Amino acid sequence: MYSFLYKICSWLLQKLSAGVLIVVLGVGAVGIWLYLRETVDFDRSRADLVASMTVERDQLRATRAEVEARLASLQSDIINQEERVQRAAKVVSTLRELESWWDRLIGNPEQQKANADQIRRMEELSASASSQLLELRRALVQTTWEREGVDLALNRAEQRLQNELQSESRVVHYWRRAWDQSRVYVITALALFIFGPSLWKLFLFYGLAPLLARSRPIRLTEAAVAQPSVTESRVSIDTALWPGEVLLVKEKFLQASDEGLARKTRFLLDWRIPFTSVACGLSELVAMRNGLAEGERRVTFSNADDPHLELALISVPDGGTLILRPSFLAGVITAADRPLRIRPRWQLFRWQAWITLQFRFFEFSGPCRLLVVGCGAADLRR
């Protein structure tokens, strides 16, 4: 449990440190570029910046005043329309109260007709005022939102101007300017750094992996060859070195050996792949040869620096081959008259190779015994 929490905290600390480094390098680079690009005096440049920020603030203030005037006008219009609706409703209510069955029978027909026309006009007036009132309220809400946006922009402009007036440091000045110009790119870089690897892995798992699973495997040859055999992986391995056999092994994996073995140093595993040999640590190898006419000699392999590493011996028979990454190779045993043969196999026209970015495969031809190393049996089988 504590180990898991330690790993989580370590991962978060690494992410945080890298994120801070991205921000500092990104904004710092833009700030240096701004400083080197400006050939004018710093004070004059700062004065021009303050002047432009003042103009921006004044424009926002004027915009806010105009928005406030529109709000006041809308509120006044809303009050007027509400009063019209109320007056029309009151007139209609009064005229409705004057109506009765007695007036309809013996009342004045002209007055009744005039009252009916008045009621109709008042209802039309009320409907028109209600429709205008609805539009005015919508405009009021939109104008209120507009005022809030202007207030937010005005507050930011006033804060930037205040900070610029209070700041006398060139570093702070150029840092603020660099942040204003590069914050979108810096935030994008941070997002890609934090979420990019996870999104890329999800894309590979759900997008490309199903395509790879349905595709034909990469086969370097169609001919049937003898299959190699693999011993059980262990932390320490003891094997025999027969007469005439030669061992090339990394020195850190050689734990013990019998007497009577000729020993020297070999600079590279294979001079035909010098860069690969150096990159995989297959340089300055210990070369041991059993030059006796008969009798075996024992050699023990292990790595005392890392007890989690396991070793295994892969026996490749005569006529057999094995595809293996040289980075997993710790040593090789061959006959003195048949040196190790490593054949690079290029796959430039396979789309699987372009997806995995592995264009070259190394083919080890037998007869030989390969000492491979990995963190468990899963690595040794790959």
Query: What distance in Å separates the CA atoms of residue 189 and residue 210, rounded to the nearest whole number?
Result: 29
Structure token digits, residue 225: 């060859």
Tens digits of per-residue pLDDT, 247-293? 999 999 998 988 888 889 999 988 888 888 898 889 899 999 988 77
- Give the residue-averaged pLDDT of 338-354: 84
Residue with tokens 């340089």: 283
For residue 173, pLDDT beyond 80: no
**Mean pLDDT in residue range 183-208:** 86
Amino acid letter for position 22? I
Q: What is the pLDDT of residue 288?
A: 92
CATH architecture assignment, domain 229-381: 4-Layer Sandwich (3.60)
Q: What is the CA radius of gyration of the chain?
A: 43
Which tokens go with 247? 């061992």
pLDDT of residue 333: 93
Q: b or e along 253-266 (b: 16 or more beta carbons within 10 Å of the residue's beta carbon)? A: bbeebeeebeeeee
State the CB neighbour count (10 A cutoff) for residue 163. Answer: 13
CA distance 156 to 341: 71
Give pLDDT, residue 381.
Answer: 43
Whether the predicted pLDDT of 118 surpasses 90: no
Q: Average per-residue pLDDT in the chain?
A: 82
Q: Which pLDDT value is given to residue 217? A: 74
Summarised one tens digit per residue, pLDDT across range 144-154 is 898 888 889 88
User: Which CATH code is given to the segment(s) 12-189?
Assistant: 1.10.287
User: pLDDT by residue (tens digit) across 28-55?
Assistant: 888 888 777 765 556 666 677 778 888 8
| Sequence spans of domains, the chain | 12-189, 229-381
Mean pLDDT of 199-228: 79
Q: Check if the beta carbon of residue 289 is closer than 8 Å to that of residue 337.
A: no
Whether residue 380 is predicted with pLDDT greater than 50 in this model: the reply is no
- Helix axis angle for 170-203 and 109-166, nearest 10°, is 110
